[in-house]
Amino acid sequence: FGTNHLGHFTLTALLLPLLEQANAGRVVVISSVAHRIGRIRFNDLNWEKHYSRWLAYGQSKLA
């Protein structure tokens, strides 16, 4: 979640004023279909109970 969502959001938010000043910039977001395997586990957001790297990846892409 931090890498696949918050990191991109923060970078875009920081660069947006410069892109708007340039009047020619754009933001292109590329993702994957891994969000399809994602389920947000609100009772275990930090994967402290049952960790699965693929399900954690899917959850981060779903965000």
Which residue is it, tokens 């000043």? 21
Instruction: Please tell me which residue in 37, 41, 57, 62 is annotated as part of the active site.
Output: 57
What's the rounded Cα separation, in Å, for the pair 63 and 60? 5
Which residue is it, tokens 């930090």? 46
51 is catalytic: no
Helix or strand (DSSP H, E) at 9: helix 7-22
Active site residues: 57
